Structure 1
Amino acid sequence: MEKLFRREVIEAIGHGVIFSDAEQLITYANGSFCELTGYDRSEIVGRNCRFLQGPDTDPETRVRIRKALAAGQPFEGEILNYRKDGKPFWNSLSITPQRSKFGRLIGFVGITRDITERKVQRQRNIQLEEQFRMIFENIGAGVVVHAPDGRTERVNPEARRLLALSSSAEATAENIRNLGYLREDGEPMPIEELPARRVAATRRPVRRMTVGLKPADIPSIRWLNCNAFPIFGFGGEITAIVVTFTDITHQRHYKVEAQRGRERFELASRATNSLVFDMNLITGEFWGNENFLAVFGSEPPSRLTLVESFEFVIEEDREEYSAALMGAIERREERVAREFRYLRPSGGVGVAQTEFMIHYDAAGEPFRIVGSTRDLTELRRKEERLAASEERLRIVAELSSDMLWELDPRTDLLWRAGDGVERLGLDPSLAPYSGGIWHDFIIPEDRQRVVASFCDALEGTVDRWQEEYRIERADGSALLVEDRAAIIRASDGRASRVVGAVRDITESRRLEDYIRENQSLEALGKLTGGVAHDFNNMLMIIMGNTEMLLEEEPRADVRELLELIQNAARNGAELTSRLLSFARQQPLAPQCLDIRNRITQAAKLIRHALAENITLELDIADTPLNAEVDPSQFDNALVNLAVNARDAMPDGGKVSLEARATSVEAGRLDGILDPGEYVVISLADTGTGMEPEVASRVFEPFFTTKPIGDGTGLGLSMVFGFAKQSGGHVFIDSTPGEGTRIDIYLPQSRQSVPASEGTEPAETALPASDRARVLMLENDEHIRRYVERILETEGYVAIVAKDAKAALDRLEHDPGITLLFTEVSLAGDMNGLDLAQAARERFPALKVLVTSGSANEPMLREKIEQREFAWLPKPFSRRELGECLAEILQE
C-alpha cells in the first residue's frame, strides 16, 4: 500500500522523475518525464539516459555526469537534451545515488526540470546588456548616468569627448560641474539649472535644453542640446537620472547665419525691383514682398497654392508654363527659370520671368519654393527695338558697299559689320579687331597723316571726322577709301564710342576725274564752236579772193604770194575742221561698218604713218563688230592715234591694234557711258609713256608735249570729239617708261552692214547747170559777192535775198527757182534752218543746200546726218561749190 502511494505521489510531481539501476539503465519514468521528452514510457525504460543527448550537448557536461555516476557520486547541473521530435531543451538535472542498507550502490534517482525558457531569457538579457553597452559606448550622443544624490555613475566616450574629459580622468560630479556652463543667451548657468539638477528637483524630464560650455582646452564655446529624464524604482523613488546631449555648435552657427541671411533677404527684397516670394507647398502659406502689388496690382495673399499661382499667367501661356514647372519638379530640378506673359495693372500684356528654387525633403517630395519675379516688359521692348535696329544694320551692311565699324577708344576694340573686309579686298585672315591693327592696312605714305588726324579728333571736341587715304589690299594693290565717323562723347567730353563707315571711292574718284575732264572739254568745245564760225567766214573771204586773183593769171612772183596765202588759209580751214571735230560740231556721215573690215583697210594708212623701226600687230575679234560711224572720221582717228604712238617711240617699238566687243554694266561708268554693248578699239604702244598729270590733259585742244612747230595738239582732241559725237568715249592709260594705251568705245550696232561697204563709189560726169536758178542768202557781203560770182561763172542764175522773209516771197512769185542756197545764221526772226524747213514744206521739189562756218546747232547736225538737206561747210572753194551744186541737181 505504501509503495502504491509513493508511485502516485511521484506521478503527481510536476518535475520529471526517473529511476535506474546501478548500470544506469532506466527502470521507471513518471508522466512528467515522458511529457518533457515526448517519449512513451515503453520507449524510455531499459535505456540509458544518454539517449536524450545530441550534437550540441556540452561534452564537458557529459564527462562530468559520467565521472559522477561512475564514482557513485551525486550530480547537479544543466544539460542540453533533445526531445523525440528533435527539438532541444535545457534540463536542470539532479542525480542522487541509491544504496542498500549495507551501503551497496543499487541505482540512481534523477529529477529533471525544463529550464529552457529561463535559459533563453537569461541569454536574451545578456544580449540586451551587450547591445546596451555597444549603444552606450558608440552612440553619437553624450550620455551621463547620475545617481539620485548627484554622483556620476557612468559616462560614455562621446560624453567624455564633448565634455573634454580625458579617458583617464574620473568623471565625478565635481569636475563635471566645473566645466563652465552657459545659458542660451551666453550668460553663466547656475548649477541648479543644470538638466540633472532640474530633473532631481522636479521629478520631470527636461527636453531640448540648450547649454553652452567652455572647457579650458577648447578655444570656442561648445553648444549642446540636452535631454534629461528620471528612472524610477518599483516604489516610485528615483533610482537614476540619465542625461543625453549632442553637439549643436554648427547648427547654432547655421541658425544664426540663417537668421542674419533672413534679415538680409528681407532687406534685399525691399531694395530690389523684383517680386520676391516664399511658398510653402504643404501648408499653402505664402509671403511676397511689396513689389507684388507693383507687378500684379494687388496685395500678396497670405495663402496661395502652386496651382493657384498659375492664374497670374495669361491663358494662352498657362498650360505651357505650368507643364514646364511641374515637369521640372518631377525631374527633381532645384532651379528653374521661366518667362510668361501676364495682364499688367496699367493695362496691356506684360512679360515677366520667374526664377524658382525648389526645396525637397528626404523622400524627394517638394515642400517649399522660394523665388523672384522680374518684370521684363520694357527690357523685351528694348531688345525688340535693338534686334530690329541690328537687323536694319545687317541689311544695310549687306546692301551697302561700305564697311561699317565701331571703335571703343578705351579698349581699342574694333567691331565690323558684315563682310566689309572681304569687299574691300583685304586679307580675311588678317581682319582687324583693333584700331591699331587697322592702321597697319593704311599705306605708309598716308598712315601718319590719318592716325594723327584721328587722334586729334578724339582728343578734341569735334563730333565728326573724315579722311581719305589709301589701303593695301591682299593682292598688293592700293585702294582709295573715304573714312567717315561720328564721335560719341561721354558727359565729361571724352570719346566713348566712334561709329563710322569706310567706302571704296577708287572707281568713283576715277569717274569724277573723267566727268571733270569731260566738263572741261565740253566747255572748250563750246568755245571752239563759237570761234570757228567767225574764223571760217574770214577764211572764206581770204580763200575766195585769193582764188579769184589766181584766176586772173598774175605775174609769177604775185602768184607765189597768192599761193602762200591760199595754203595758209587751207591749213587754217583744216585746223578749224579739227577743232569742230573735237567740239563735236562737225557733221558726220555715219554708216553701219564692220569695224574689223575697216581696220583691215585702214592698216595700210596706219603702216604708212609709222616709222620703219615700228612693228604693227593686229588682234581683231572673229565675230562681227558693227558700229555706226563716219568712215573718214574713223580712219582719221586711227591715223591720229598711230602718229602719236610713232612720236612716242623715236627709237622704234611696237604698236598693237586690237578690236573686241565688251559690255558696260549699269553703275560702272555712270555719267560717261550708258549701259550696253560696245565695240572697243585699243591702240597700245611701247613708247615713253606719260605722267598722270600729262595724260589727264592730252585731249585738250592745242595741248602738246612736242616741240614748237612739230604738232598742233589737235590730233587726240579730234579723236575725243569723234568718239563722243559717235556716242562713245575715249580712255587713256599710260605709265612712264612702259607705254600708252588708248581705248575708243563705240556703241555696237544691231543693223546689218550694207553689201557695198568698203567699196569706192564710181566717178560719174556731172551735168551742166543749164542756167539753173539759185536763190542765195548770205549775211556777209564779201562772201555773198564771192559766191554770186562763182554761180554766174559756173552758168547759174544767182538770185539774192536779204533775209528769210524776202526769200519766201521770192519763191512764191518765181516758180522757176531750182535750188535754195542759204547760210544758217541769218538776220531776222528766221535762221537758215527755219527757212529751209519752211521752203521744203511749201515747195517739196525745191533743192536745198545749207552752209555755215560751224554746225554748232544739234538740230542742224541731226538733219544733215539724216540727209534732209545738203551740206557744204565753210570755207569752200569754187570747185567744191560747183561739184556740190552739180551733185544736188543731179539727184
Structure 2
Amino acid sequence: MASEPPHDRSIAPTPADDADLVRLAGRIARFGGWSIEIPSGELYWTAELFSLFGYESEGGAPPLDVAIGMYPDDQRSLIEAAMNRNIVEKVTTDLESIVIDREGREIRVRIIGVPVLDEAGAVVRLQGAIYDITEIVTERENRIAAQESLQRTLDYIPDFVFFIDEHWRITFANRALLAFLDLPAERLYSEPIWSIVPELAAGPFTNGLQRAMNERTSSTARARVEQYGITLEGTVHPVENGIAVFARDVTDEVERQREMDAVAAVAREQAALIEASTEAMLIEDLDNVVLYWNQGAEQLYGWSSEEAVGRNIRELIYADPADFEGPGAELLRDGRWFGELTQRTKDGRALIIECRWQVVLDAEGRPAKIFVVNSDVTELRRQQQALSRAQRTESLGTLAGGIAHDLNNVLTPLLMSVQLLKTQSPAPDQLALLEGMEAAVRRGADMVDQVLSFARGVDGVRELVDLAEVVRELFRITLPTMSPSITVTQRVGELPAILGDRTQILQVLLNLVANARDSMPEGGELTISTGRQTVIASGRASTGLAPGEYAVLTVDDTGTGMTGEVLDRIFEPFFTTKQLGRGTGLGLANTQAIVESHGGAITAHSAPGAGSRFIVLLPVAQDGAVLVPQQEPTDPVARGAGELVLVVDDEASIRDLMRQALEAHGYRVVEAAHGLEAVEVLERHAAEMAVVITDVIMPMMDGAAVAAHIAERYPHVAVIAASGFPGAGGLAELSAHGVRHTLAKPFTTESLLRTVRAAVTRSG
C-alpha cells in the first residue's frame, strides 16, 4: 500500500528485504498501491499497479481524470463518490469495480481507499491498494450459478429434498417440501426437525437420521406421519456439515402393498378355495420354479400338477422364454406385476393371459415366494377386436354410402343425357361415341353399386340356385384367364339348391379365385370343392350360424399365404396388400357381406408359405322353395296423355333432363328444387297433378316429409321416390306414407318412363 507523497516516488521507509517481499507479494497476488495528493490531485502508482494495468512506469502515473477514465461509465460515479467520502467523511472505503486495462480487457478489482490526515486533522492525501479479483469473482459467480442450478434442479423433483445441519435444523428445502409443510420461513429454518414434525422423533426413520449424522452412513426407512396423514419413505445420506434427506410419499403404495399382502395371506391360508378356482393359480420360488399348481392351471394349460411342479415356468408356458424376462425382473424389483402376456398350452395353442403376480414375504418381511393368478382373456380380446372391426366397418359403410349417393346423383344426368342424344338420330361415328359413353357410365354405376352393396348390406333377388352349376360356370369364365403355371382342380358333387342371388354367389367365387390367382405369381395349385355340413344347435355361439344344413364351398391355393396380422384384417373394407392401382380393398368385404346376407358365413385359414383356404357355408333351401324370376319387360313404353308430373330434386341438371324425357313422351312437367317449393307448387296444381317424383335426400324438406304431406292432403296423387342411396333416407318411412314406386339412381330414361306409367296406371 502507498503511504508516501508522490514526489517521493517510494513507499514509506521499509527495510530493503521487506520491501522486496512486498513487491513480490503484490506481483503474485496481483495488487498494487496508489496515492492521491490533496488538493493537487497528483496520482502515484506502485510498480505492481503499472504491471496490473499493462502500463510502463517510466512516465509515472497518468493524470487523475485519465485514471478515472479507465473505469466504465456506469462505474466512474461510484469511484468519485468513494473518493468524496474519503475526503469529506474521512472514512476508509472498500468497493468492487471494473477497470479497462491498456489492452482493453476488463479486470474485476477491489479498491481500498484510506484518508491520510495532517496534525490539524485535514485530509492531505488518499492512499490505498487495488486488488485484481477477477478469478475470485468468476469463481464466486460460478459457485452462485451452480447453487442456483442445483436449487432449480431440486425444485423440479416432485419428492421432498432437504438438508439438516448438525443442530437438526433444516438449512435447505426444495419447492415440494415448502409447499407441503406451508410454514413461515422463520420457523422452518430455525426450529429442529423434531419440533416441526414431532412424529419423526422415534422409529426406524429417526434411527436412519441418527446413523447418517453420527456414523456417516446412508440408510433408507419408512415412517407413518399421522400429523399429515401420509407414509414417507426417506433415504438419508451424510453430507458436509450435516445430512441430506430424499423423501417420497408412499401412502398409496403401502396401501396397495397391504392389500396384496392380505390377498397373499388368504391365498396361503385357504388352499382349498384356490384349488377350486377356475383361475390358474400357482406359487413359484424366487427362481420361478413351480411349487404349487392348482386345478385351474391344469385346465388352462393342460399340464397336470405332477408334470408342472418342479419345472421352471419360463420353459413350461412360454414359446419364447425372453417374453418373461422383463415382467419377471419388474416383479422382483417392485414386488408385484400386472399385465398381459402370450403363453402356450401343452399342445402348443397360444393364449392371451391377464397376469397378476405378487411377491410373498416371509415372517421377517423378506421375499420368499411368488403368488401368480393367470386368467385366460383370449376369447375376450378376440371379441373386442371383432367389435372394433365391426365399428370400423360401420363407419366406413356410412362414409361409402354417402359418397355413392353423391356419385349416383352425378351419373344420373350423364346417363339420361347420353340416352336423349341417342334418340336424335346421330351420325354413325357419333352413335358409336355415345354408346361408348353410355357403357362407361353404366360401368361407373356398377362400381357405385358395389360400394352401395357394402354400405347398405346386400339384398338382391332370391331364387333357387344350383351351386354345382355356378361352379361350372365359374370354370368357364376363369379358366381362360388363368396362367398356364396354375393347375386348377374342381371337386364338385351334387348339392341341394340354396335360396339366393346367383349373380352374387358367382361374384363371391370370382373374388376368391382372383385372390388365389394373385397369391400364386410363380404358379401353383388351385382347388375348388363342394360339400355339405350340418350345424348343430350349439354352433351359433362359435360360427354365428343358425342350426341346420349348409352347403360348403372351399377354395384352396398353394400361394404365398398370409401372416396372422393380415389374416385378421382381410375382410376390412379398403384393406389391401396389393400394390397401388391393383386392388380397392372391397373384394373380400363385399364377399363377406354377400355371404352373410344369405344367412351364411365365411372363414379363412392361412400361414406364410403354406397357402390359403377360404370356406363358405350357405344354408340349404327349405323344401318347397320356388323362384319367380324377375324379367326385364320388352314391350314398348306407352306414351303419356298430357298428365301433369311434378319433379322435385335439388340437382338442377337432373330436373332438366327428367323434364325433357317426360315432355318428349307426352307428359306435362313442373319442377321444384326442394320440398318446401314442392308444397307450394302442389297447392297451385293439386287438382290436375297426377304424379310427384321426389328425391329422397334434400335440404330444407326431404322426400319423406313431401310424401307425408301428399298422403294427408292429396291422396289421389301418386308418389315416386328417387334416391342415389336406397339404403338410407327413410325408405321405410316413405312406404308408410303410401309410396309404392322407387327409382334407384342412376336410372335410364326407359326406367323413368315405365315407373311413371306404372304410377299413373295405379293411381288412375
The answer to whether 1:698 aligns with 2:575 is no
- Give the drift of 1:778: 0.5
Q: Which residue number corresponds to residue 474 of structure 2?
A: 606
Is the Cα contact below 8 Å between 1:458 and 1:495 reproduced in 2? no
Unaligned 5+ segments in structure 2 are 1-265, 481-486
Is the Cα contact below 8 Å between 1:767 and 1:890 reproduced in 2? no
Is the Cα contact below 8 Å between 2:298 and 2:305 reproduced in 1? no
Matches of 1:559 and 1:645, distance apart in 2:
40
The answer to whether 1:765 aligns with 2:640 is no
Q: Which residue number corresponds to residue 283 of structure 2?
A: 406
The answer to whether 1:581 aligns with 2:456 is no
Q: Which residue number corresponds to residue 690 of structure 2?
A: 818
Q: Which residue number corresponds to residue 652 of structure 2?
A: 781
Is the Cα contact below 8 Å between 2:652 and 2:673 reproduced in 1? no
Is the Cα contact below 8 Å between 1:855 and 1:861 reproduced in 2? no
Q: Which residue number corresponds to residue 308 of structure 2?
A: 432
The answer to whether 1:637 aligns with 2:508 is yes
TM-score by length of 2: 0.55
> Secondary structure of the equivalent of 2:504?
helix
1:11-90 aligned within 5 A? none
Matches of 1:753 and 1:867, distance apart in 2:
32
The one of 415, 418, 425 equivalent to 2:295 is 418
- Give the drift of 1:824: 0.8
| Pair 1:841–1:862, CA change in 2 (3 A) | closer
Q: Which residue number corresponds to residue 851 of structure 1?
A: 722
1:744-759 aligned within 5 A? 744=616, 754-756=625-627, 759=629
Amino acid at match of 2:488: I
Amino acid at match of 1:532: A
Matches of 1:883 and 1:483, distance apart in 2:
67
| Pair 1:889–1:638, CA change in 2 (3 A) | farther
- Give the drift of 1:832: 0.9
The one of 617, 620, 629 equivalent to 2:491 is 617
Q: Which residue number corresponds to residue 655 of structure 1?
A: 528
Matches of 1:667 and 1:408, distance apart in 2:
44
1:309-320 aligned within 5 A? none
Q: Which residue number corresponds to residue 549 of structure 1?
A: 421
- Give the drift of 1:776: 1.8
1:348-427 aligned within 5 A? 393=274, 397=277, 400=278, 402-409=279-286, 412-424=289-301, 426-427=302-303
| Pair 1:532–1:764, CA change in 2 (3 A) | closer
Aligned length: 486
Amino acid at match of 1:420: A
Is the Cα contact below 8 Å between 2:412 and 2:747 reproduced in 1? yes
Matches of 1:394 and 1:889, distance apart in 2:
79
The answer to whether 1:441 aligns with 2:316 is yes
Amino acid at match of 1:765: D
1:177-229 CA-to-partner distances (Å, cap 9, x unmatched) read xxxxxxxxxxxxxxxxxxxxxxxxxxxxxxxxxxxxxxxxxxxxxxxxxxxxx
1:439-480 CA-to-partner distances (Å, cap 9, x unmatched) read 222344x21221x13431342024233341231423x44444
Matches of 2:267 and 2:397, distance apart in 1:
56
Q: Which residue number corresponds to residue 453 of structure 1?
A: 326
1:201-350 aligned within 5 A? none
Matches of 2:492 and 2:283, distance apart in 1:
53
Amino acid at match of 1:448: A
| Pair 1:432–1:388, CA change in 2 (3 A) | closer
Q: Which residue number corresponds to residue 860 of structure 1?
A: 731
> Secondary structure of the equivalent of 2:571?
coil
Matches of 1:386 and 1:455, distance apart in 2:
21
TM-score by length of 1: 0.48
Matches of 1:527 and 1:391, distance apart in 2:
56
| Pair 1:558–1:706, CA change in 2 (3 A) | farther
Is the Cα contact below 8 Å between 1:678 and 1:745 reproduced in 2? no
The one of 740, 751, 763 equivalent to 1:880 is 751
Identity in percent: 25
| Pair 1:660–1:834, CA change in 2 (3 A) | farther
| Pair 1:810–1:460, CA change in 2 (3 A) | same
Matches of 1:729 and 1:431, distance apart in 2:
40
> Secondary structure of the equivalent of 1:716?
helix
1:716-744 CA-to-partner distances (Å, cap 9, x unmatched) read 23223334556665432223444333344
Matches of 1:752 and 1:689, distance apart in 2:
42
1:603-623 CA-to-partner distances (Å, cap 9, x unmatched) read 34322332165233236766x
Amino acid at match of 1:835: V
| Pair 1:456–1:437, CA change in 2 (3 A) | closer
1:39-77 CA-to-partner distances (Å, cap 9, x unmatched) read xxxxxxxxxxxxxxxxxxxxxxxxxxxxxxxxxxxxxxx
Is the Cα contact below 8 Å between 2:553 and 2:615 reproduced in 1? yes
- Give the drift of 1:784: 0.8
| Pair 1:691–1:635, CA change in 2 (3 A) | closer
Unaligned 5+ segments in structure 1 are 1-384
Matches of 1:585 and 1:811, distance apart in 2:
36
Is the Cα contact below 8 Å between 2:640 and 2:665 reproduced in 1? no
Larger Rg: 1
| Pair 1:726–1:422, CA change in 2 (3 A) | same
Amino acid at match of 1:699: F
Is the Cα contact below 8 Å between 1:579 and 1:701 reproduced in 2? no
The one of 357, 360, 363 equivalent to 1:485 is 357
> Secondary structure of the equivalent of 1:775?
strand
Q: Which residue number corresponds to residue 572 of structure 1?
A: 444
Is the Cα contact below 8 Å between 1:685 and 1:740 reproduced in 2? yes
Amino acid at match of 1:439: R
| Pair 1:528–1:867, CA change in 2 (3 A) | farther
Q: Which residue number corresponds to residue 518 of structure 1?
A: 390
Matches of 2:373 and 2:686, distance apart in 1:
76
- Give the drift of 1:536: 1.9
Is the Cα contact below 8 Å between 1:442 and 1:469 reproduced in 2? no
| Pair 1:553–1:766, CA change in 2 (3 A) | closer
- Give the drift of 1:853: 1.9
Matches of 2:467 and 2:752, distance apart in 1:
32
Matches of 1:728 and 1:858, distance apart in 2:
28
Is the Cα contact below 8 Å between 1:529 and 1:585 reproduced in 2? no
- Give the drift of 1:779: 0.5
The one of 582, 590, 597 equivalent to 1:718 is 590
Matches of 1:729 and 1:858, distance apart in 2:
29
